[in-house]
Amino acid sequence: MPSFDAVNYTIRPNKAVERKIVFAGLKKLSYLLDISTHRYIGLGSLWFVDFSMAHRVLGIRWMTSIEQDQIGYRRAEFNRPLSCIDVIHGETKLVIPELGLETSPSLIWFDYDSSIGGPVTGDIGMIVARCAPNSIVIVTISAKKDDLPDKDEAGDDIDTETSLRLIAGDLVPTPLLPKRLRRQDYPKLLCEILTNQFQSAAVNSGRPETFIKLFDLLYSDGTPMVTVGGIVASPDKVAGISQLVADNEWEGILPDSISIPPLTTKEKMALDRMMPSPNPPTAAQMNAIGFQLRQDQIDMYHRHYLHYPLFGELI
């Protein structure tokens, strides 16, 4: 089943925060690099939320969306919100060589339905090898451990590590501690595997540019997801971009999964009256405003309150 038949991408709260973090980071990067002239390439599905943000936040006016499903392609054509978006029908691995990535810098965000066993590593290899200098490449994949096959091609049972190595090969760290395959630690392992693929693709291409990681994010709206990406930076941009990412204010690389608490509008407004603050509200402060949250929920809201989404019914 195509994901657009199961998920409305506009109303996933943790995804909304992740998306805002990415575009806030790209906005900061735009002071070092004119991203408005980049071409935005993504998997817009039916909602094109990231495309609208790329246009509104970054000023990008040249966009391409890839849609593999035939029905999805027709619906995407109908739903595209901007005249500057072209929708292409096909698989990413077949479309990428036809995009002319070598001619000008791109901002590419492939938000896949699939996990590490899908096209992600192959697509990264193709994109990084051929994209123009200062292109930005981001991928998002499912981080469900259950997505890994439990049998090999011969039909024999295999353990989790073997399954992962059959898919990702040398990208998997060696040695691999068993605890990294625990359900709660598996998403971070996938982030490392994707980072390894970005870096190895840049090195193996022999190009003079350097891959600098910009994003390493985890979130879940029912299904755990990971987002990893960075820039293939030209030599003259490496120092400035590296300094930007190393700054404590850079939000694109987070140690914990984004998991914002569900709040009513009234609760959000009450918490916002306490922001900004150097530290999260205390239990005593929460009592004073009239309701309680777990400490981990308070901490998460304090960290992400600027990106907290509010959804409402229009009709």
Per-residue H/E/C for 194-209: HHHHHHHHHHHHCCCC
pLDDT over threshold 80, residue 54: yes
Q: Same domain for 129 and 87? A: yes
Residues 28, 100: one domain?
yes
Residues 275, 231, single domain; the answer is no
Neighbours of 150 (CB within 10 A): 12
**Strand order in 210-220's β-sheet?**
85-89, 63-67, 39-42, 106-111, 135-142, 224-233, 210-220
Q: What percent of the chain is modeled with pLDDT above 90?
A: 94
Q: Taking residues 32-59, what's their average pLDDT?
A: 97
* Same domain assignment for residues 28 and 80: yes
- pLDDT over 60 at 4, yes or no: no
Q: Which residues lie below 8 Å from residue 276, measured CB to CB, with a gap of 6+?
A: none
Yes or no: say if 126 and 91 are a contact pair by the CB < 8 Å rule: no
Paired sense of beta strands 63-67 and 106-111, if any: unpaired
Strand partners, 67: 89
- pTM for this structure? 0.95
Long-range pairs for 85-91: beta carbons < 8 A, 24 or more residues apart: 85/44, 85/48, 85/51, 87/44, 88/64, 90/66, 91/119
pLDDT band at 10 (very low <50, low <70, confident <90, very high): low
- What three-state secondary structure class fits 182? coil
Within this chain, do residues 227 and 270 fall inside the same structural domain, yes or no? no
Please tell me whether residues 278 and 197 are part of one structural domain: no
Same-domain pairing of 302 and 214: no
pLDDT of 164-200, one tens digit each? 999 999 999 999 999 999 999 999 999 999 999 999 9
- Flag whether 255 is in a domain: no
Kindly state whether residues 16 and 146 are assigned to the same domain. yes
Q: Which residue, chain included where needed, has tokens 């978006």?
A: 85
Q: pLDDT tens, 260-313?
A: 999 999 999 999 999 999 999 998 999 999 999 999 999 999 999 999 998 887
Q: What is the pLDDT of residue 312?
A: 80
Is 62 strand, coil or helix? coil
CATH of the domain at 223: 3.40.50.150
Domain count, the chain: 2
Verify that 95 and 17 share a domain, yes or no.
yes
Q: Compute the distance between CA of residue 213 and CA of residue 245 in angstroms, rounded to an integer.
A: 8
| Domain region containing 288 | 265-307
For residue 1, pLDDT over 90 is answered with: no
Distance CA 303, CA 308 (A): 10
